[in-house]
Amino acid sequence: MSSVKKKKDFHITIDEELCKGCSICVSICPTKTLSISKDPNKKGYYSAIQHSPEDCIGCNKCALMCPEVSIRVFMGVPLNEGIS
């Protein structure tokens, strides 16, 4: 967990069943917060995962570039909101 307090909280969701593991999002993420899963999804693709969500700066590049439209970026909602 980063000790740097961000001005806003960002997080993304990845629909792992839509993802085809092309790695475009992994390559384009400026904070290198994405990687490829070691386990295949139901279709046999190794999907993208976010391994360090605290480093996401909400730039939206991953969502814009994903050819499968499987990433959504959220802003202003605490990462652990709703989790007790």
List of residues contacting ligand SF4 (CB under 6 A): 12, 14, 19-25, 29-31, 33-34, 47-48, 56-62, 66-68, 70-71, 73
CB of 36 to ligand SF4, least distance (A): 7
Which alpha helices (H) appear in 1-84, and where do they start and end? 24-28, 61-65
Q: Is residue 11 helix, strand or coil?
A: strand
Q: Which C-beta is closer to ligand SF4: that of 23 or that of 39?
A: 23
Question: Quick one: CA torsion of 13, 4, 80, 21, rounded to 10 degrees?
Answer: 20
Q: Which C-beta is closer to ligand SF4: that of 30 or that of 78?
A: 30
